[in-house]
Chain A
Amino acid sequence: MRVWETSHLQDTLPTGKTTSEHVYDFADSQANLEKIQHHFKQLKTRLVLGLVLGFLLPNALLSIYFHYQFAHTLKNNAKLNLEAVAESQKNSIDIYLQERIVNLNNLFHSKDFTLQPTSEIMKSYLQNLKRFDEAFIDVGFLDANGTEIGYAGPYSTSDINYSQETWYTSLISEKKKYVVSDLSLGSDKSPRFTIATRQEFDGQIFIMRASLNPDKLYMFLRSISHGKSIDSMIVNRQGQYQVVDLSKIPFQGTSTFIPPYSSRSGVEEITSDDETVLVAYSWFAETPWALLTKQPVSVVQTGMYLARSILTISLIVVSLIISIVIYYTINKLVENARKMAEKGQQLQEMLAHASKLASIGELAAGVAHEINNPLAIIMATSGVIRDMLNPEFELDHSDTAINKELTIIDNAATRAKGITKKLQDMGKTSSSSSLPCNINSLLEEVLNRLKKTEFKSKKIEVVSQFDPMLPNIMAEAYPLRQVFGNILINACDAITEEGTITISTQTTEEMVCVTINDTGKGIPPEDLKRIFNPFFTTKAGGKGTGLGLSIAASIVKYCGGTIKVNSILGVGSSFTVQLPFNKHQLTGSHGKEAKRIQSTIGR
């Protein structure tokens, strides 16, 4: 808790502004400290958020971009790979089929070929074929009607007519040189497929046909689909499975995916209920079959999932570390800056305190000087009287002469009394209570008094611009008369011989505003900050005590108002006094202040 005497001194001191404008204000250091803390708290939040967002957001966006780019590339590679596998398997099987067709066709050109082959010849044909491939099961020789006229094989069949078989019709009607049939089940319930070729002898068509075991085809499919979770299968144009892994797919089932016949090969992504798979296809050259290769996308992306996990974890860890580093660094920096700002604030307070102490010294010096001067006059003058009474000096010691000296002593004593009275006025406005007070009429009153006294010696034009709607303020008239009287006397003193003093009143939101302008010599900037200090004066000895503005400032402060001064050297000065006119002003916060002042003075 500040004691009144000190706070009063502090408050009557200007706060160190050196510009040519000076506002008499009452800043609170605690509020400043809180402002600093709030400012740095905000700064810290903004810095942390900015840096974390500035770092993390682009990082996250970049990671997401690379992740999708990576997934896309990975899938494309898998598609290309799958298509290549399909083509390679198809080529192997194509070559195999071509070889078997050539094997069969060569029988037409063997040396023991005849148009009516005996069973021995047919047997030698079969042996001949089996030499090339064990997959040959049987061999048959057909006439143009499709009737088998020669056969060798495990089945005891003869004179079978094949004219209704699909392969036969396509061989005859489409005039193909050879044909490979779809797979079917033989009489022993094992799968097989048929190869047939045709030749013309003397305008007559003859057909050589052979059944083959598809085991080799299975082998081809299995040989390539190693360890990549790739399933291979052969389908016909209707999508019926021809060669499949029987452990996974039933024989002669139908594929859900039917490859388009328009392009030779391709790859597609198919989503079924349980999973997404990549399917590549490649059409055979020798038969209307397509080789399909399937691979689940999840298998393709296994590597990516791992990479993604590593990337995500490292991103989180790095982000966390960097965030922590950013947070602590900023925290430390801001904390240091805050401490420095607080130290600065403390330093300012110390300076204010020092200047408070200095002003006590200044006040004491002022009091001493102001009281000592009349005392010195009294001492010197009483010495003169003593000299008069000393016969040695032979001076005039008549009643008139002594009375003249005594008058000097009286004047000096009156001056000293005046100073002590003014000092009392600084702390006390008046004991009487506040009444509604019209500032316009109060100013008129003060002006009328001054026109008869101070203003008389100079040619001063007084211009009054009063706001007729000015509201009354709750205040005591006597101290306010002092405020405006002191300012007006200073304005008059600032004018050397002739000039103008303009007084205007106006109303702002909650204040009555009085402006007093003079066309005097102005106040030098270095003096401007000291004009409210007690005993600061530029007037000659005995002419001014340096208390006028100091008293004015303390009264205005007591009323809850402000006092402001603007000055341009050689042009003039302008004092603005603002006083609150809300009727609760003395029962609000200023009321407390007033009570405190009264109680301290009463001690």
Chain B
Amino acid sequence: MSMRNLPDIGSTVTFATENPWAALATAIKYGAGIIVALWMLFPIYWMVTVSIQPQEVIMNWPPRFLFFTPVIENYVTLFTEQNFGRYLFNSFVVAAGAVSISIVIGVPAAYSLSRMDVYGGHHIGFWILSTRMIPPLSIMVPLFIFFSDVGLNRSLVGLMIVHFLITLPMIIWIVKGFIDELPQSLEESAMVDGCNRIQAFREIVVPLVMPGIAAAAFISFIFSWNNFLLALVLTGGGTRTAPLVIQSSMGYLSINWGMLGAAGTVTVLPVVLISLALRNHLVEGLTMGAVKQ
């Protein structure tokens, strides 16, 4: 669906110069747009700004919006004294691990649900979707006990296993949507040519839905990366993830805002980059394929 084919509804620029009311309407329209854009962007801008200000400037009144000498000392403190790199690495290991294993087991499941006429497949698919609706805390108490019993509490492996609850349903549903759109004749002609089902899946279907798999992988990576609650319950000390460390550094009496701003900035940076690269698939991912763009 290309947006370029649509005519511009309501943008009456030539009209506006002739009619003062229309000119006013256009001004209000763009003014409102600018206010909304500022509302969306300013909090992010401010966090990044504070991260490159020295503590004296942050604590001083009035706040400096634009003109100040940027410093990197907050980032230096963050990575040397606070060892934030380690927690970013924890976040990365959990998210990347959960995503890659989910792809290996989720893509065949998506194929099976999409193509292989599983008995009750519709219900299984819907049940998989419904696991995404579960409020995580409602199942965390029994899982916490189980993980403590088997010694997986406070380990990244344990956290990774629970993160399957985020990544697996998402990957299955998004990839299933992509496979559904693929013409079945491709696999059929491959199987007529003598390859078996697994070959047809591996050699025909997987390469063709690769863009979909990549989109699903990155979107579920964002969700795993952003997650806080599961790490709060299941990790501690050296196995904490980046959001958890941000949260625990906020508890102190005197908050080092510059350093926290830096921590927030480096934590959201990968997410922002991924989502800008994926912007055409993002909504599909957020709605698990229910909305196609």
- Asked if A and B bind, the verdict is no
**Hey, which bits of chain B sit against chain A, CB under 8 A?**
none
